[in-house]
Every structure is written in structure tokens, then in C-alpha cells.
Amino acid sequence: MGEVIGEFKSVTKRFGSAVALDGLNLKICRGINGLIGPNGAGKTTAIRLSLGLIKPDAGCAELFGLDCWNNSLAIRGRVGVLYEKLAFYDNLSGLEQLRLMAKLKGASDSVVKLRKLLCLVELDESAHGRRVGGYSAGMRQRLGLAQALLGKPELVILDEPTANLDPLNRAKILDLVVFLSREHGISFLISSHILPELEKVCDNFILMNKGKLLRQGVLEQMLDKSSLLSVVKFVVRVQPIEAVAALLGDEGYVEDLLVIDDSLHVTVKDATLFKQRLPLLVGQVGASLDEVRMVRSDLESVFKSAVTEKGA
């Protein structure tokens, strides 16, 4: 893990009788941080807390060594944010909207600089003067990102930045995040449910559920721990593939079964039982087994296993 720039220490936050954060401990590092967890895990609450928008009931959240609640103005001067639900003035042009936000944030509102910022997030000149109401979902997201980048923040928090975007636009937004991180030294905290994409770009992962930290670290640390978990993936090359797939589909320990090209991708709850049963099933249909390979768990299976573990 890289240099720590933020930390939650045993943070609890309740809304009435609902406990949104329950003694949450986490570290935000320099680089790109992925904040993951199921719906209702507390990700957006954690984000609002780190911006000093809400006060913890217990514990403290710090960014850059400053308590987020007691220094919220200083924090918001150094942090940019793209909220889960984007709200724009639809009758303003993209440029006018950005200029308004720059004024409110106390950032430079020079038109030249703002146009440059819009181009940086790949909203080209032809879009600057157009009404935001006519922007596509991808363009609105880019404008939101430009807004988050106003005032040269050290950390940019993105809550579900790629929700509602098509795969091409999702990839483009994340490419932009990587570029801004590598070339401009901006750190990111990204909350998202699209794990295979986060897996590609994040330096550090924070996995939470029910207001608590489940695990945190670089991808290797997340995946290593998964070897202790019960869900394991195998790639099986077998002929004829359909007959074996049909039999495996009826086995109780098989969680998921996919035929991709000439291989079976099997996710199992019990690897030992799978390895015992596979040769028997193959023999039963007179098939030939060419290869059985265990696949390292990916972030998605870590996520699934961790949030379904007892007590998680």
C-alpha cells in the first residue's frame, strides 16, 4: 500500500435506528483507491463523512491529517467530488455550468482555463456552448468530472462514476482517471459496483459491508486472502464439452458454469469434491479430459465470498 492520505478510525454513523457505519476502519492511499461493497454497505455515507458533510456519532475520519468534520472547509478546498446523483442546471451550457461551480468553489473562472479543463475530460469545443439538458449520460459524467477537478484537488472522490454508462464510455472515464492519477498526481477514491473494471485501475482496494471493513489492500493482498475462501474457479478443457457441462450442472457444489470457446469455466464451493467427481463424470460419458486448471480468484469472487461469509 502507498502513502496513507486518509484514515477512518472506528467511525460509527447512525440515521435514527439504522447503523450506516459500524466502527469503520479504513485507509485511503496515494494513488487510485477502489471503495467496494454491496448496496447499503455504507460507501456513500463514508464519502459524505470524509467531506465533512455529516458528523460521526463516534470515532473520527481524517484526510491529509485533518479531522474531516472540524476542518470541512479546508478539506473541501483540497478534495473534488462527483456525487452519485448528478444535478446540473439543464438550461446552462456546459461552460456556464462549470463557470458557476468554479465561482462557488472559489476556483479560477477564467474561460480559457475552464475550456481547457473541459477538453481535458474530452468534452470537445462543440459541446462547451451546448445546453447541458441535451448532453448524453457520458457527457454529463464528463462534465461532473470536470467539476470535481476544479481548483486542482489532491484527492477526487467519485461515487459510482460509471453507473448508467455503456462499456466504451465506462472504459474511457477510467482511462481518464488513470491518466489524471499518473500524469497529474491526483489521488482518487472511486466507489463502484463494476469490479472487473476497478480491478484494472486501482492501486488499493477497500471492501466493506454493513458499515464495517471486510478487507483492504493491494489486489494481491485481496486475492491471496481469497485462497482461504471457499469459492474456487477452474478452467476445464474436455471433449465433448456439452455432455460434461450437462452433468456438472447437476452437481450440488457447482456455483456457476460457463462455456467459453472450447473450455468450461466452473466455479465451485468445494474444490476437493470437484476434483474427485470430475474424472468420474468424464468417464461416465466417455469424454476425454485434456486439461484442468485452477484460476486465481478475481476481485468479483473475493467480493462474493467475503460478503456472504458468516457474520460479514
210 binds ligand ATP (CB under 6 A): no
Instruction: Give the list of residues 6+ apart from residue 160 with CB closer than 8 angstroms, or none.
Output: 84, 191, 192, 193
User: By the 8 A CB rule, do 149 and 119 touch?
Assistant: no
- CB 159, min distance to Mg ion, A: 6
Among 4, 10, 15, 246, binds ligand ATP (CB under 6 A): 15
**Which stretches does DSSP call E strand in 261-310?**
263-268, 288-295
Among 6, 31, 34, 42, binds ligand ATP (CB under 6 A): 42
Smaller CB distance to Mg ion: residue 12 or 44? 44
44 binds Mg ion (CB under 5 A): yes
Pairing relation of β-strands 155-159 and 4-15?
A: unpaired
- Stretch near Mg ion under the rule CB under 5 A, chosen from 40-48, 103-111, 114-122, 150-158: 40-48
- CB 44, min distance to ligand ATP, A: 3
Measured between alpha carbons, how far is 208 from 90 in angstroms, rounded to an integer?
A: 35
Binding to Mg ion, residues 206-235 (CB under 5 A): none
Smaller CB distance to ligand ATP: residue 282 or 306? 306
**Site size for Mg ion, by CB under 5 A?**
2
Residue 286 cell numbers, joined: 466417455
Binding to ligand ATP, residues 43-82 (CB under 6 A): 43-45
Smaller CB distance to ligand ATP: residue 76 or 210? 210
Nearest to 26 by CA among 195, 207, 171: 207
Residue 271 cell numbers, joined: 474444490
Nearest to 229 by CA among 312, 307, 305: 305
Query: What burial class does residue 186 get, using C-beta atoms within 10 Å of its C-beta: 0-12 exposed, 13-18 middle, 19+ buried?
Result: buried
Of these partners, Mg ion, ligand ATP, none, which one is at the site of residue 42 (CB under 5 to 8 Å by kind)? ligand ATP
Contact set with Mg ion (CB under 5 A): 43-44
Contact set with ligand ATP (CB under 6 A): 15, 18, 20, 37, 39-45
